[in-house]
Amino acid sequence: MPNVLVVDDERDLVSLLDFNLRQSGFETTLAYAGEEALSAARRRPPDLVLLDLMLPDMPGTEVCRQLKSDPRTKRVPVIVLTARGEELDRVVGFELGADDYVVKPFSVRELILRVKAVLRRAGQQRSEKPVTELGPIRIDTDAHRAWVRG
Q: Which residues lie closer than 8 Å to 6 by C-beta, 6 or more apart? A: 14, 17, 18, 21, 28, 29, 30, 31, 50
Task: List, in sequence order, every residue forming a beta bridge with 28; answer none if it has no partner.
Answer: 4
Q: Which amino acid is at 36?
A: E
Residue 146, pLDDT score: 84
pLDDT at 116: 96
Question: What does the pLDDT profile of the chain (150 residues) look like in tens digits?
Answer: 899 999 999 999 999 999 999 999 999 999 999 999 999 999 999 999 999 999 999 999 999 999 999 999 999 999 999 888 888 888 888 888 899 999 999 999 999 999 999 999 988 554 445 567 888 888 876 667 788 887
Q: pTM value?
A: 0.80
How far is Cα 72 from Cα 93, in angstroms, rounded to an integer? 20
Predicted pLDDT of residue 76: 96
Model pLDDT, residue 128: 47
Walk across the sheet containing 131-134 and list its strands. Answer: 131-134, 137-140, 145-148
HEC string of 111-123 equals HHHHHHHHHHHHH
pLDDT confidence of residue 147: 83
pLDDT for the residue 43:
95
What is the predicted pLDDT for the residue at 122?
Answer: 86
| 101-109, long-range: CB < 8 A, 24+ apart | 106/81, 108/16, 108/17, 108/20
The predicted pLDDT at position 143 comes to 64
pLDDT of residue 131: 65
Domains (ranges, CATH) in the chain?
3-148 (3.40.50.2300)
Q: Which alpha helices (H) appear in the chain, and where do they start and end?
A: 11-23, 34-43, 60-69, 87-95, 108-127
